[in-house]
Each structure stands twice: as structure tokens, then as C-alpha cells.
Amino acid sequence: MKKLLIGLSAVVVLAIVALIAIPLLVPIAAYKDKIAAEVRDATGRDFTIAGDVSLSLFPSVAVVVEKVKFGNAPWSSVKEMASLRQLKIEVRLLPLLTGEIAIDSFVLVDPSIVLEVDRQGRKNWEFGAPAATGVTAAKPVSGGGAKGGLSDLKLGDIRITNGTVTYIDAKAGTREEIKNVNVTVALANLDSPLKAAGEVAWKGETVSLKLDVAAPRKLIEGAASGVKTSLSAKPVTLAFDGTVASAAVLKVEGSVDLKVPSIRALAAWTGNPVTSKGQGLGPLAVKGKLGVNGPRLAFTGAEFELDQTKARGDVEFDSTGPRPAIKAKLDVDKLDLNLYVGGEPAKPAPAASAAAKKDEGWSDEPIDLSGLKAVDADVSLSLGALQFQQIKIGKSAVAVTLKSGRLNAALTELALYQGRGTGRIVVDASRAPTAIEAAFDLKDVQANPLLTDAVGFDRLEGGMGGTVQFATAGASQRVLIGALQGKGDLAFKNGAIRGVNLGAMVRNVGTAFTDPAARAAQKTDFAELSGTFTVASGILKNTDLTLLSPLLRVAGAGTIDLPKQAMNYRVEPKLAMTTEGQGGKQEAAGLTVPVIVEGPWSNLSFKPDLGAMVKDAIKDPAKAVEGVKGLLPGAAGAGAATGSGGAPAGGGKTDPLGAVKGLFGGKKN
């Protein structure tokens, strides 16, 4: 027994000595040319080993190769497809003898890989048919239990140090380069978790990567495995925690957390800068449950934060069509469209007291809606607040469809300036110029803030209701207003016309039109104001204005030039012997004093049409006298004081004919 042990010990010692001595005796360098020839025969590319090659067999099989170069395709713009300063492979000896592959070390130092596509679409990673060698190709290694196959793979120190990957696409005219590639991988075996981590530099930013795979064998075989991965860089961070199945159709389920400090900065970093003039597309945060089934993606229970907007809901994304398609149901707290469409909000006309200021008018800033052609969408929105230009909309429900650049929004619930309504908006960006159509049915809307925000007109007060339809086309606010077409009918209740007291003008024609400072604070109160209108090329025309107020009736007709923000209007206020307001008769008897309202909104002028008034008085003097009985200062039942709607106060007596003369600046008899 003792001799046997001595003999075995001698064999082991000799074996160890042989494993150490063989690499010293075998001329490894002599095989470099043969290795290069074999690679050339297999790929059709040049392969050179310019540095040393060393081999050791104990305590592990280790090969170190230095200065390796692999040739590129003949048409390529770069000489080598791949090169590296050093390759080191170290495999455990004893597991190798039993058929297992246990890699202690696999290190690539300074590898450089060039991937290239030429103008004809040829790829440098596609090799020609290998030369015939008479050797039967090895069968692919299955994922089963065959010894020496991938199923027995064990990894130790796997590293890529200071790598570079370059992608050149001559067909697209692009070149991308990833530098400072440093990656480490740890895998005890395919049934143990795989952990990988690394960093790369791309476009001046360092990108950190992590990957944990719970069951690598299942993932390789197409079954589901738990996966955690993250990407972190200054422009974006992304984390995923869930399951992945790499079958014929990729399937993913799990939670996603995305943070982007600025979408514009991210787009610029990736080489796709945002060109729209809007100030939006800043911070973005997305959380939710992700589901991927091939080209279809879904977020459920998602939370979104974009700029100043927060939203919750479900989103589906389908990339199988000519354009990506989005289907969503979202609850949005507030949305300011001005951040995304570019252009400037409408500027209200200055108040009469600031008439000396220059009216800036409509904006010529281009409104860019080209983004509507990027996707198709079917979206249901519940909005807490919406703003477009200066128009502010409260709690609303909107159903939006977007197809080939044509957006159709149905507003089934609309809270608008303390009132309510429904509406429809169509924006067609599929052609140039962009066309817009809209229709609204409004009830109890406060007119002053709406008209001020919509068109910069602040002369009307009161609750408003009615229907409005309009259509326009253009690429800027000024062009859109100038091309406006439409019609509507509106009724105002319990309001006022700012900047003018029509009742006072009727009673005191001689002085009521000569004091702009006093007019600025005046109002014509009314119980009811109604009319219909049409709009053609931005010019609004009305022929049936009716204003009813106690002791005052007003009829009106004229035009409002929206592009120039100016008016040319004629009103006929009539002092009437009745205190009826809403529901009163327009044709009540009284004195009519026509008033011409014209000029820019910022500085309207009011002039009496004295010629027309004299003609009416001459035509029927008795009617004119009857109309002013008891209404003029000093007349029976009248006094010097008057209300903003023209109602007289006090009492007294006067000569009616003399009072009429006084209206025109003449002397009383």
C-alpha cells in the first residue's frame, strides 16, 4: 500500500511538472500564423496577432494574446473591424476534464469594435461563405444537459476594460461612438443569478448600467425570468423590476420608473432636438405597471408628471401601424397648451385710460402643430383646468381622436367662466395651413373675462348664453384671426356696456360726447342684450342688436374688425316711457339719438348722429316732444340726476320744445 501511494504521488508530481513544462516546450508563437490563416479561411477577413501569445496549463488553463486585429470588409471606410490590446482567458482545469466550462477570467483590454452599413445597405458584420475545409461544422449547443455545453457554463471574472464601439451608417449619414466601455459580469452558473454592471460614455455623458437576471437558464430557453435593470445618466434615469420572457415574441411585465429632468435636453442629447417654439417639454416623470407583448405596450395604474401637469390613468401604445397609436384614459389636473403649441397668448386691448399706449395686436409668432402628425390617438380626458392662449377652461370632460394629423375633440362637459357648455374642436394639421373648426353651446358664461381672454375685448359685462361656430386656417395668431369665418347668436343678461352711458348721451347730447375722461368710468346697464352675427375674413357683422333696459331701448348694427381690433358700429338708444327691462318691448315710444361707435378697441370714440336725429324730429315733431316728456332735466317727472342706464330721478316741469332744442345745443324759448 505504501508503494502504491508513493507511485500515485510520483504520477501526480510528474503530471504537474508536465503541465508546467509543456507550455515552455511548445512553440506557441509558431501557431500564430496558422491561427490567422484559419480565421481568414472562415471569415474571409485578415486576422493578425502582432503581440505575444502565452499559454499555461496549471493550476488553470490560461491563454494571453496581445495586439489582436481583425480586418474589415473591403468596402469599409475603416481598416479594422475589431482590435484589442490584450485578451486573457483562464479556464479551470479539473472541471474542464469533466466536461464543464468554468471560466475564471475573461478580460478584454482596450477592445475597439466598428459596426458599419454602407450606402447600399451592406453590413460589415455579415461575412461571406467560409472556405471549404473538409471539416464538418459542429452542431449548435443545445440548452439541455450535454456536458461541455452552454448549460454547464460558469463565469468568474468577466470584464471589458476601456472599450469603444463605433456605429457608422453611410446610408443615413450618421456616426455614433460609445467610449470608455467598462463592464463586469458575474455568473456562478446558469441556475444562479447573473449580475452585470458597467459604465459607458456617450455624447459627453456617462451612462451607468445595471442588470440582474434571476434565472439565466430560463431566459435563454425562452421562459420567464425575474429581471431588474437600470440606466442612469444626467439627462435620464430609468428603472425596471419585473419579468421578461425572450420567446419568439418578447413579453415583459413589471414596474417602471422614468425620470427626465428635461425632455428638450434629452432630445438634444440623443441628436433629435425639439424645434417647436413652445416653452414646454421640460421635466417628465412616469411610474406604472408596464406590459409588453411584441410591438404593443401598455401602462396601467400609471402616474405622469409633465411640466406643470399631473395625470393618472391607463395608456396603450401600438407600433404596428404606419404611425404609433396611443389609446388612453386619463385624469389630468391641469393642462396649459400654450407650453406646447408655440406662439404667444392673445393680448387684451389696453383700457380706455391707457389709450395712449400702443396696441400690440395679434402675434405673428408661428404656431407649430406639426407634432399632431407624429402619432394617432384615441384619448378620454377628465380635466381639472385647461388653458389655450388666454382662454381658461375649468373642469371638463374631453374625448379626443387624432388620425393622420387631424384632431377631433368633443367637450362633453365644459366649465367656462362661471358658466357651462358643450363644444367641439377640430384641428387639421395634415395639410398646410393648419385648419381649425369649433362650435360651442354656452349657458350663463361671464362675458367680460371670456371676451377679454379670447379676443382682447373688455367692453361687455353680464351672463352670456348662445351658440357659436367658427372656422379658420393659418400658421400664426394674426393669420388665424384674419381668416376667421363663422356665425352665432348670443344673449347677455343683467350686464353693462363699459365706457359709455347711452342714456346720458340721449339726455345731454351737447356735452356727453366731449369728456373722454368721464366716459372711461361710465356704463350703460342693461337687463337684456341679444343679437346674431356672422364672421367673414375676420370681420364680424351684426344687424339686429337689441338692448332692453328700464327707460332705455337700444337697437344696433355694424361691424367689428377682429384683425385690426377696431369697431364701426351704429347704435340707436331710445329713451322710453316704460320701466320694463327683460321681456320689455323694443318699439316703446321715445326719443332716438343715434350714436356712432368707431375706432380701435383701446380708444373707442362715440359721436352723435345729429343729422339723422334732426331728420327724425322734423319728420314727426310731436313724437319727438312726446318722447322727452318727463325725462329731460326740469321736465315733469324728471330731475337732474340720472342712473347709468339712463333712468332719470327727481321731478320738475319744463317746456318740452325748449328741452329738445337744448339737446342740440340751442337756446330754449
Separation of alpha carbons 264 and 249, rounded Å: 33
Residue 623 pLDDT: 59
Domain ranges of the chain: 1-125+147-189, 500-663
Which pLDDT score is estimated for 184? Answer: 92
User: Would you state the pLDDT for residue 574?
Assistant: 77
Cβ neighbors of 78 (< 8 A, separation 6 or more) are 72, 114, 116, 166, 168
Q: How many CA atoms lie within 13 A of 669 on its CB side?
A: 6
Exposure b/e, 336-347, CB count within 10 A at least 16 = b? bebbbbbbbebb
Beta strands in 519-594 (DSSP E): 523-536, 539-549, 552-561, 566-576, 590-592
534 within 8 A of 540, measured Cβ to Cβ: yes
Which span out of 34-38, 56-60, 495-499, 590-594 was modeled with the highest average pLDDT?
495-499
pLDDT at 133 over 70: no
Residue 88: which residues within 8 A CB-CB, separation 6 or more? 62, 63, 64, 65, 105, 106, 107, 109
Cell (9 digits) for 629: 316728456
In sequence order, the β-bridge partners of residue 554 are: 547, 573
Q: Which percentage of the chain shows pLDDT scores above 70?
A: 70
Q: Which is nearest to 645 in space by CA: 555, 579, 596?
A: 579
**Cβ neighbours, 10 Å, residue 637:** 13
The pLDDT assigned to 233 comes to: 95
- Tell me the sheet residues that pair with 310: 305
Q: What are phi and psi of 520, to 5 degrees?
A: -60, -30
* Cα R_g (the chain), whole angstroms: 42
What mean pLDDT do residues 35-59 have? 77
CA distances to 104, 147, 150, 177 from 99, rounded to whole Å, are 15, 5, 11, 40
Give 424-474 as a DSSP string: EEEEE-SSSS-EEEEEEEEEEEEHHHHHHHHHS---EEEEEEEEEEEEEE-
Query: Over 153-174, what HEC string results?
Result: EEEEEEEEEEEEEEEEECCCCE
Mean pLDDT (the chain) is 77
651 has a pLDDT exceeding 50: no
Query: Where residue 211 falls among pLDDT bands split at 50, 70, 90?
Result: very high
Beta-bridge partner residues of 583:
none
pLDDT of residue 497: 82
Q: How far apart are CA 47 and CA 589, in angstroms?
A: 109
At 356 the pLDDT is 39
Written in H, E and C, the secondary structure of 322-337 is CCCEEEEEEEECCEEC
Q: What is the mean pLDDT of residues 558-565?
A: 94
Who's near 361: CB < 8 A, 6+ residues apart? 347, 478, 564, 565
Confidence label for 15 from pLDDT (cuts 50, 70 and 90): very low
Reported as a pLDDT band with limits 50, 70 and 90, residue 196 is very high
Q: Render pLDDT for 359-393 as a digit per residue (tens, 0 to 9).
A: 467 888 888 888 888 889 999 989 898 888 788 88
Which H or E run contains 110? none
Selected residue with higher pLDDT from 524 and 446: 446
**Segment 284-297, tens digit of pLDDT:** 999 999 999 988 99
Q: Which strands make up the sheet holding 386-388, listed edge to edge?
A: 335-336, 386-388, 391-393
Mean pLDDT of 111-130: 84
Q: What is the pLDDT of residues 74-90, one digit of tens each?
A: 888 888 998 989 888 77
* pTM score of the predicted model: 0.63
Q: What is the DSSP letter of 267?
A: H
Site of grid cell 342688436: 545
Q: Residue 525's beta-bridge partner residues?
A: 496
Q: How many CB atoms lie within 10 A of CB 555?
A: 19
The single-letter DSSP state of residue 323 is S
Q: Is the pLDDT of residue 512 over 90?
A: no
Model confidence at 607: pLDDT above 60: yes
Q: Of 385-394, 448-457, 469-478, 598-607, where does the model show the most confidence? A: 469-478
Q: What is the pLDDT of residues 236-266, one digit of tens each?
A: 999 999 999 987 888 999 999 999 999 999 9
